[in-house]
Amino acid sequence: MGKAFDPLLIIEFLPTLLHYLGVTLEILAASIFLGLILGVAAAIPRLFKIPFLNQLVILYVSFIRGTPILIQLFLVFYGLPAILMIFNIDISKLEAIYFVIITYAISNGASFSEIFRGAIRAVDKGQTEAAYSVGMTSTQNFFRIVLPQALRIAFPNMANSFIGSLKDTSLAFSIGVMDMVGRGDTLISATAHALEVYITLSIIYYAVVLLFEKIFNKLEKHFNRYQSADLSVAA
């Protein structure tokens, strides 16, 4: 580490790195979207106790929550081509970014399925009984009564998962993706000012996280606007 620390470089590096923020956010958006679909699909066997699929999901969730995201990245990066080769599909030329999106989607799917499952079970049983008492079927009850309330309950956890996933994208560069951190790496090779690059990256991540936290807070307040903590209102 030879060169002197130059704080001005932090400002200089900002535009260069911000330019690639879009890639990071694309990865995030795609993996969240796919993760939601996967999460719903995985929650269903668990909630309705579908045999075999139920056990499969339990295994899937346990493995994802039991291994570091870095290991998952490598497993998908080396494993997916190998599996698809069995079906004679050759994806060895596929860009790294797709492996990253797939890995994060699989990881998010596991978290989301657990969040959905917990939220649905958290809806007061009395709501379902009331639904049945007016003659609704279990399907009507699920979609009209339970699900809307479960979404509200799930929201804070989903928001946390979202922000966690944003932070996880910082590891994508390890399999060669040219996102914000990847660009930072090339900047380091060019200028040897690693500290300044990482400080700039930290500032960008921090700002984006704060922005999302503000948005989620506002959304949460909006969803809960009809929940009052104090029920002892005079008649």
Question: What residue ranges bind another protein (CB under 8 A)?
Answer: 1, 5, 62-63, 65-72, 74-75, 78-79, 81-82, 85, 124, 126-127, 129-138, 140, 144-145, 148-149, 152, 163, 167-168, 170-171, 174, 181, 194-195, 198-199, 201-202, 205-206, 209-210, 213, 226-228, 231-235
Taking a C-beta distance cutoff of 8 angstroms, is the pair 54, 46 a contact?
A: yes
List of long-range contacts for 123-130, beta carbons under 8 Å, 24+ apart: 123/149, 123/150, 123/153
Number of C-beta neighbours around residue 80 at 10 A: 17
Taking a C-beta distance cutoff of 8 angstroms, is the pair 165, 108 a contact?
A: yes
As a whole number of angstroms, the distance between CA 131 and CA 140 comes to 8
Amino acid at 233: V
Amino acid at 67: T
Report, in Å, the least distance between residue 53 CB and another protein. Answer: 21
Report, in Å, the least distance between residue 160 CB and another protein. Answer: 10
Residue 117 tokens, joined: 């499952």
Our CB check for another protein shows the closer of 37 and 121 to be 121
Our CB check for another protein shows the closer of 37 and 164 to be 164
Report, in Å, the least distance between residue 41 CB and another protein. Answer: 22
Report, in Å, the least distance between residue 9 CB and another protein. Answer: 13
Our CB check for another protein shows the closer of 72 and 108 to be 72
Report, in Å, the least distance between residue 217 CB and another protein. Answer: 13
